[in-house]
Structure 1
Amino acid sequence: MTDVLIIEDEARAARELASTIRQIDADIRVLATLDSVEQSLAWLAANPQPDLIFSDIQLADGLCFEIFNQVTVRSPVIFCTAFDEYLMEAFDTHAVSYLLKPVTRTKIEKALDKFHALKSVFEKQQEGQKLSGLLRQVGQSYKTALLVYQKEKIIPVQVKDIAFFYLDKTLVNITTLSGQQYHLSAKLEELEKVLDPALFWRANRQFLINRAAIGNAEKFFARKLVIKLIVNTPEIIVVSKAKATEFLHWLEGL
């Protein structure tokens, strides 16, 4: 999931931008749309920094650079503006791309591709450190079994036997390789932290899948992939274009 903040003082442009980036990548979540320097400073002071910011330069009460001068913004920024005169100033921030209006779908796709490419490079460099830190936080090795409850029974389900986890609204369903089904009171984000990433991969918002359950993957429209498991799934498993390469590397064990 990629959390995006939009800073744009034209309401229609903001709506169109939000709609377009969601169409390009379903794993993008727009956290907020802000229209001024003042509003942006207040939001950034009260919330964790997003994964990515789309920002116009000329806002209702000044230039967006006033935001970056007053707050340490670590998020990458894609600028969207009608003016080319701020190009050098923009790249004094964490600028990923500088898009001149009108901002088309093609321009946005290229900018997002660049963002994901840069992100992938940094993540690979830090992967070993992050994994070690995660294990220290959890304070244990990866789980080999999970406890599920059925009425008065407590059943240990071996992790290696689980084909996939599926988020159905607020409930996580477990399906094993043999087709047995259970319910679990947990979040997929929590499960990701305690399951071996060499065995389990978060395909999208709904699915956390076991490598052993994968039958094949097929190309889908817009450079996405559809993963087919050896057991039935409640809906098709679609991997976004942004995550397709990551999935193939994971499947190869890279």
Structure 2
Amino acid sequence: MKVIIIEDEIRTANELRSMLLAIDADIQVEAILGTVSAALDWFEHNAMPELIFSDIELGDGLSFELFKKISIDVPVIFCTAFDEYAIRAFESNSIDYLLKPVDEATLQKSVEKYLRFKEHLIAGGQRLSNMERVISQMEPPYKQTILVDYREKIIPVKLSDVGLIYSSEGAVFLQLADKRNFMVRYTLEQLELTLDPQLFFRANRQFIVNREFIDDIEYYFNRKLLITTKVESPEKIIVSRIKAQPFLKWMER
């Protein structure tokens, strides 16, 4: 069985390959690809494998982008940390998932599930239709608008207009491009789960920043980063040393 692994963490990819070979020595891992662009290039020059193992967050975007750009008519087993609703989408479409960190027993069950369905796979066009439906179901319903209470009114605020979200003295505030500031009835943790990760980044415990409102980034003490935004911030926005590289990687997407 020919498979490819789409995973940007080399250690994770190598562990997955080792476990696959331990499960079945006849499995051939044709390639390990770490980015959407690398995967696109590979598919343009190589025959389709029998099975794909794919992470969701890659070095240059989400794997959803890849599967929208090319015709995939083979099963995909995603590596995911998505909520239960996404997992149900996989199960209803006979596409399995692996919850990180992957263990060999779970991986073996996924391979066995694929083998059971292999003889019953339908024609390529319908398979592709199923794949597109699963992808659309998996894409999280990110918030586009948030409702805020202001005096005796409820005001809809477009999140694309929010330059900064921050906590202060136990409350959470939205700082808008037009200089308005609203308090919301959410925690940063609750908001983070519903915000588009392509647009918003949790810089630290106090701040979530919108990439469209980042003015510049400075190197700070002890390999930290200092963010300057186009909207007013109540304090310095400092990205920790641990988050510095993921943040810069996110900015380049």
Query: Which of the five TM-score ranges fits, normalised by the shorter chain?
Result: 0.3 to 0.5
TM-score by length of 1: 0.47
